Chain A
Amino acid sequence: MDELNSLFQGFAVVLTPMNTLLMVVGIVLGVLIGVLPGLGGANGVAILLPLTFTMTPTSAIIMLSCIYWGALFGGAITSILFNIPGEPWSVATTFDGYPMAQQGRAGEALTAAFTSSFVGAFVAVVMITFMAPLVAKFALKFGPPEFFAVYLLTFCSFVGMGKGSPFKILASMTIGFALASVGMDTVTGQLRLTFGWLELMRGFDFLIAVIGLFGIGEILLSMEEGLAFSGKHAKIDSKIVLETWKKLPKYWMTSIRSSLVGIWMGITPGGATPASFMSYGLAKKMSKTGNKFGTGELEGVIAPETAAHAAGTSALLPMLALGIPGSPTAAVLLGGLLIWGLQPGPLLFVEQKDFVWGLIASMYLGNLVGLIVVLTTVPLFASILRIPFSIIAPVIIVICAIGAYTVHNAMLDIWFMLLFGVVGYLFKKLDYPLAPLVLALVLGDKAEDAFRQSMLISQGEVGVMFSNYLVGSITSLALILLFWPLISKVLAKIRPPKKDEFEADRPIE
């Protein structure tokens, strides 16, 4: 029960008045980010990251992770009230959430969404509490080849599990790696791929890419659609909340199943969106009222929300224990850790006990605070979406510019942000996934270091990737995932697959 002791120490670290205040501030900012078009979890955290430079790492991570929870909660508000999924993983929530709002049951839908988000996150945090130290302990044995194999697995699983053309996934990923290698080479100190442009010595910061790709790109997309919001009004009072809570225990099976789906999918990169769809599909299949799904079933809100939050939370497990983030937002948090001088990975659990357990404790408290905050302030946030887009759009562009500037205090970065915005707009329209690009940009240097060290050990023999059972099996799994688009085609010839009825609705991340 070491974990429990450490956890209670973590609670002691977190429960200072200042940290509690930061938690509330973080949640409110996070919900705001989740509700506003053009700002999502990843670029929201990226923009607010510089604000935390002066804080202690523990306070900073508490605030940032609370922004993350807030953004996860906020996605549900826009999906249910406006039929606009704020985040890719809230798409499945619109299926039943929006019909409920149309029937005047918005309060019920929101309460169910928030509560099941909380449940999903809670189950996932419990899992992290007990699993993360074990994974970290196991990973202490990893050498460079093992780490490179895990990186390989991370990136290959994008190809294996992603939707759309595998070539586009590969293109997006390699662009990320190429951008990551621009600048000073960490091993030899040579300048790489700058083509004589000294300003590029710093390289491309992934925070700039995140702000441009997701922020500016999203604004351009919304502008193209000539967005006019028409939302349903929501009224949440304690009566609706209590009535909905009375109905929820009936769906305990759905909650447990969705949490498990979420946890399982969340550990793999980009897992939250497929998790929410898978969970919705399973609930539809298994529920007695499955045929009514899509017309405003409470269960159809519970299933995807629980899974999305469980996945979003468990994406932090590989980030903490291995230093490999499972989602763009987790990648931004990892970037934050590096800026505060903490090296994420197995050693974090040994060297920075206070920090790790403070973070885990803040996950418990942050979600609880989040639930209370969103339940009490939904009407306020819903009214933000009624502000005309011609005010919101320039303000968000200004916020993005400020965010891009503060990362390195460099003007050039604002231009890069704009450029990334155009790239994001084009890529989104052409169905290129953006998550692999961001993750490759974050992990590029570390993956390369692991690769070069492995090659040094083996003197250039690729066989080192199969030198023992552990690294061999991870590498094999990675290769299977890499060639999964081909393998599944072959399998489909032998045995026709079942049709995935939600395939068309699933967005490309």
Chain B
Amino acid sequence: MASSDTQAHESGEVKGPATYVVEAVVACVVMLLGVVVIYGSRELGAGWTSDGPGSGYFPFYIGLIMTIAGAGIFYQALFSKKGKNTDVFVDGEQIKRVLSVLVPAGVYVFAVEFIGLYIASFIYIALFMVILGKFSWVKSVIAAFCVNALFFMMFEVWFKVPLYKGQFDLLSSLGY
């Protein structure tokens, strides 16, 4: 990943956010989280109560260290003596590939809520193979069916661990 980044960078074709910017943003998120934890633990009582340290006692220090660490990362990202890391964090092509997995995965999880794990997985695997893998419909449907049949046997039949069937249980006719 690092090597492909630098190669692409040298050829001067790619555009994308520089790594130090992403570093700084993530550092800010870490700091923010730290502040949230500190705030939350102070609400709970970060001090000493009648029966010992309060609920927020330990998380308070955790939040404190987190904030300091975030500040440290922020400083290192922007003001380090070694200079800023201006490598492209992720270029357009790469982020497209990542999103082409992440977005369908999100849709898939959303679908699981309604039609359950088995049917959603079947559709997800089949569509993934057809659209991203350029497989034929027949092959994709067969592969997706086999994988899900195997899972069904393994979880429902052999190990007796019921999986989520969704709000509309389309498999109820199978009796599991």
Q: Smallest Cβ distance from A5 to chain B, in angstroms?
A: 35
CA distance A190 to B55 in the complex (A): 7
Name A193's contact: one of B59, B76, B102, B154 (CB within 8 Å).
B59
CA distance A144 to B125 in the complex (A): 50
Interface residues of A in 402-457 (CB under 8 A from B): 402, 405-406, 409, 411, 414-415, 418, 421-422, 425-426, 429-430, 448, 451-452, 455-456
CA distance A267 to B81 in the complex (A): 35
Instruction: Indicate if A225 sits at the interface (CB-CB under 8 A).
Output: yes
Q: Chain B interface: which of A97-105, A330-338, A390-398? A: A390-398
Instruction: Indicate if A223 sits at the interface (CB-CB under 8 A).
Output: yes
Instruction: Indicate if A460 sits at the interface (CB-CB under 8 A).
Output: yes
Instruction: Indicate if A503 sits at the interface (CB-CB under 8 A).
Output: no
Q: Are A219 and B101 in contact (CB under 8 A)?
A: yes
Chain A CB within 10 A, most for which of B4, B37, B70 = B37
Q: Are A165 and B98 in contact (CB under 8 A)?
A: no
Q: Are B90 and A394 in contact (CB under 8 A)?
A: no
Q: Are A418 and B164 in contact (CB under 8 A)?
A: no
Q: Are A390 and B44 in contact (CB under 8 A)?
A: no
Q: Smallest Cβ distance from A323 to chain B, in angstroms?
A: 18
Q: Smallest Cβ distance from B169 to chain A, in angstroms?
A: 14
Q: Smallest Cβ distance from B118 to chain A, in angstroms?
A: 10
Instruction: Indicate if B7 sits at the interface (CB-CB under 8 A).
Output: no
Q: Are A171 and B73 in contact (CB under 8 A)?
A: yes
CA distance A406 to B151 in the complex (A): 13
CA distance A394 to B104 in the complex (A): 9
Q: Are B69 and A224 in contact (CB under 8 A)?
A: no
CA distance A187 to B49 in the complex (A): 13
Q: Are A54 and B160 in contact (CB under 8 A)?
A: yes
Given contacts A171-B69, A192-B59, A401-B108, contact A411 B125 (CB under 8 A): no
Q: Are B108 and A388 in contact (CB under 8 A)?
A: no
Name B128's contact: one of A175, A181, A390, A415 (CB within 8 Å).
A390
Instruction: Indicate if A252 sits at the interface (CB-CB under 8 A).
Output: no
| Chain B residues with CB below 8 A from A406, complex form | 155, 161, 163
| Chain A residues with CB below 8 A from B113, complex form | 411
Chain B CB within 10 A, most for which of A165, A170, A388, A398 = A398
Name A430's contact: one of B22, B101, B125, B135 (CB within 8 Å).
B22
Q: Are A174 and B66 in contact (CB under 8 A)?
A: yes
CA distance A193 to B38 in the complex (A): 10
Interface residues of B in 128-161 (CB under 8 A from A): 128-129, 132-135, 143, 147, 151, 154-155, 159-161
Name A178's contact: one of B23, B54, B62, B151 (CB within 8 Å).
B62
Q: Are A418 and B132 in contact (CB under 8 A)?
A: no
Q: Mark B28-71, 1 if CB is under 8 A from A, else 0.
A: 00100110010011001000100011111111001101101110
| Chain A residues with CB below 8 A from B55, complex form | 185, 187-188, 190, 192
CA distance A128 to B131 in the complex (A): 51
Name B112's contact: one of A414, A425, A456 (CB within 8 Å).
A414
Chain A CB within 10 A, most for which of B54, B55, B56, B134 = B55
Instruction: Indicate if B78 sits at the interface (CB-CB under 8 A).
Output: no
Interface residues of B in 1-35 (CB under 8 A from A): 1, 4, 19, 22-23, 26, 30, 33-34
| Chain A residues with CB below 8 A from B132, complex form | 390
| Chain A residues with CB below 8 A from B115, complex form | none
| Chain A residues with CB below 8 A from B124, complex form | 394, 397-398
| Chain B residues with CB below 8 A from A245, complex form | none
Instruction: Indicate if B170 sits at the interface (CB-CB under 8 A).
Output: no
Interface residues of A in 289-308 (CB under 8 A from B): none
Instruction: Indicate if A50 sits at the interface (CB-CB under 8 A).
Output: yes
Instruction: Indicate if A232 sits at the interface (CB-CB under 8 A).
Output: no
Instruction: Indicate if A67 sits at the interface (CB-CB under 8 A).
Output: no
CA distance A383 to B59 in the complex (A): 48
Q: Are B59 and A175 in contact (CB under 8 A)?
A: no
Interface residues of A in 161-179 (CB under 8 A from B): 165-168, 170-171, 174-175, 177-178
Closest to A460 in B: B48
Q: Smallest Cβ distance from B58 to chain A, in angstroms?
A: 5
Q: Mark B86-114, 1 if CB is under 8 A from A, else 0.
A: 00011000110110111001101100110
Q: Are A414 and B151 in contact (CB under 8 A)?
A: no
Q: Are B63 and A425 in contact (CB under 8 A)?
A: no
Instruction: Indicate if A373 sits at the interface (CB-CB under 8 A).
Output: no
Closest to B164 in A: A405
Q: Mark A183-204, 1 if CB is under 8 A from B, else 0.
A: 0010110101101000000000
Q: Are B164 and A411 in contact (CB under 8 A)?
A: yes
Q: Are B109 and A430 in contact (CB under 8 A)?
A: no
Q: Are B56 and A216 in contact (CB under 8 A)?
A: no
Q: Are B69 and A168 in contact (CB under 8 A)?
A: yes
Q: Are B40 and A193 in contact (CB under 8 A)?
A: yes
| Chain B residues with CB below 8 A from A225, complex form | 1, 4
Name A418's contact: one of B53, B105, B134, B143 (CB within 8 Å).
B105
CA distance A170 to B125 in the complex (A): 39
Beyond the given pairs A51-B159, A411-B113, 12 more chain A to chain B contacts, judged by CB atoms under 8 angstroms and listed by A's residue number, are: A167-B72, A168-B73, A171-B69, A174-B62, A181-B59, A188-B54, A192-B59, A390-B129, A398-B108, A405-B163, A455-B52, A460-B53
* B interface with A by C-beta (< 8 Å): 1, 4, 19, 22-23, 26, 30, 33-34, 37, 40-41, 44, 48, 52-59, 62-63, 65-66, 68-70, 72-73, 76, 89-90, 94-95, 97-98, 100-102, 105-106, 108-109, 112-113, 117, 121, 124-125, 128-129, 132-135, 143, 147, 151, 154-155, 159-161, 163-164
Please provide the 8 A-B residue pairs with the shortest distance between their CB atoms, ordered closest to farther. Answer: A390-B133, A167-B72, A174-B66, A394-B128, A170-B69, A171-B69, A398-B121, A394-B125
19 chain-A/chain-B pairs, Cβ below 8 angstroms? A167-B70, A170-B65, A170-B68, A170-B69, A171-B73, A175-B66, A187-B52, A190-B44, A224-B98, A397-B124, A401-B109, A401-B112, A411-B112, A414-B112, A422-B102, A426-B26, A430-B23, A452-B53, A455-B57
